[in-house]
Chain A
């Protein structure tokens, strides 16, 4: 008994000495909220992210849980237990939620509307690409492939580069269905938050929002370090798809530098 107490005191002391290095602390338990339809593919992505967060968490004494909140009358719900809120809802509901949950990260996993980007809602984190980002990607590709009917997407089940193959494989194995843009967004939202918890031990929603918006270095398995614009939009490369095949990646090589993610979409807030 005494030995256990001494060990506990020593480990607490080690924690203090370790300073900024995250070390095994007391258990950290994180809960996410999901708002949206149960059959929305974004939810499957969230569940995939949760499984991976817990796999990492086992090495760090961290656990991750999810509460699914059904869409009726969501604003009356108590959101205080949640580190972040993950949504697959319509634009109006998203805007209301964002206003109600001030200082708490609210992830947009489904809406491409550019108005939500230029509005620069302080706690909104848009994982899915906006319409303008997709249009810009197609425009870049048209310079090399005139007459193309390609569309732009965040993700594709045939994507294999940069370990996209591994994520597609894990997802398919778990759900027996291919990963789409929404499920990639759900996975990414949980993964970037749990990565941040692992690195910083932050469990306060306001601090987490600040960390994600200013200090993120996220590996979304698309080959490039990702972070957010001031609009709350995740910078990311897109895939150009024609006849359900990947024909190019944007920024399109030769048109824009692959690292020039800001060649896609709106960069700043509405003045």
Chain B
């Protein structure tokens, strides 16, 4: 009996290890193909395409990598996918028009509900809504500090970063930035956040302890409508998806000076960085491609055709 339990425990342990081992896959939501493109990050080729449902947008991984979550906007659901078998495991109601979300280190999902001026918190294990927090109009981007203590939700039509304390889920601060804030990201230490303002074409650097804007800078090009923003692994460089300027803007993270513009596909929105920091992936909506950037050279090394209007991208590494 004891032997049986031990072997059972061992097999559970082995199974867990196996299921949590990174697949090395890159997952991309295709907003107008109702699908997920699965890219092999070694060969940089399409491995599979998953039919997911109407208008998939936001995408994220569980903290242990065991589950892939996708906001299927026109079905008002988040669907849960096994990143190994690529099977849809379950789905839960995620409020009206779920779009962008982030996964908290505790496993809960923070999502913006654009039509309701609210951010909601869900437990993806049972689909239960844990909290709903009133924020500004057209909530959009969601970012969570690495320690999980703060969540930023951007409100596009109220021009604010709403800073939510977690797990209390209460508003700590509301920070006005430029017109149409779209996305934000934290430093590893969580003391600084960077955010984009699409219509004013700016990037903001904000002190998260005081709520004060430390710096702001234009993304240059008048066509530039910045969307996603992400830091290099050493946090010295900031990458900004330039939207309709069809380029990734590379900025010095300290001064926000533009170092370089990397031409990618049309209407670049989504960004994801490999764990090692050597590759940056972009979703080029109008072109229907993912651009792979070598961050050593800050040059595109490959362009991969995916579905129609690729939106979000995550890497299981």
Of the listed stretches A73-81, A107-115, A216-224, chain B binds A216-224
In the bound assembly, the distance between CA atoms of A163 and B225 in angstroms comes to 13
* Residues on the A chain within 8 Å of B160, using CB: 56, 59
- Contact, CB under 8 Å: A55 / B114: no
Q: 8 Å CB contacts to A: which residues of B159-207?
A: 159-160, 162, 171, 174, 176, 178-180, 199-201
Nearest chain B residue, comparing its CB with the CB of A52:
B137
User: Does A259 count as interface, using CB distance less than 8 angstroms?
Assistant: yes
Contact mask for chain A residues 214-249; partner B; CB cutoff 8 A; 1 contact, 0 none: 000111010111000000000000000000000000
* A interface bracket (residues with beta carbon within 8 Å of B): 20 to 34
In the bound assembly, the distance between CA atoms of A251 and B159 in angstroms comes to 26
In the bound assembly, the distance between CA atoms of A163 and B158 in angstroms comes to 13
- Given known pairs A56-B136, A60-B174, the reply for A225 and B115 (CB within 8 Å) is no
- Contact, CB under 8 Å: B179 / A218: yes
User: Does B138 count as interface, using CB distance less than 8 angstroms?
Assistant: yes
- Contact, CB under 8 Å: A163 / B212: no
- Contact, CB under 8 Å: A225 / B201: yes
Residue in A18, A55, A170, A225 whose beta carbon sits within 8 Å of that of B136 in the complex: A55
In the assembled complex, the CB of B155 is this many whole angstroms from the nearest CB of chain A, namely 8
* Residues on the B chain within 8 Å of A190, using CB: none
- Contact, CB under 8 Å: B179 / A221: no
- Contact, CB under 8 Å: A163 / B156: yes
- Contact, CB under 8 Å: B117 / A198: no
- Contact, CB under 8 Å: A219 / B179: yes
In the bound assembly, the distance between CA atoms of A166 and B137 in angstroms comes to 9
User: Does A136 count as interface, using CB distance less than 8 angstroms?
Assistant: no
User: Does A139 count as interface, using CB distance less than 8 angstroms?
Assistant: no
- Given known pairs A166-B115, A166-B157, the reply for A217 and B212 (CB within 8 Å) is no
B interface residues, Cβ below 8 angstroms from A: 114-115, 117, 136-138, 156-160, 162, 171, 174, 176, 178-180, 199-201, 212-213, 222-223, 225
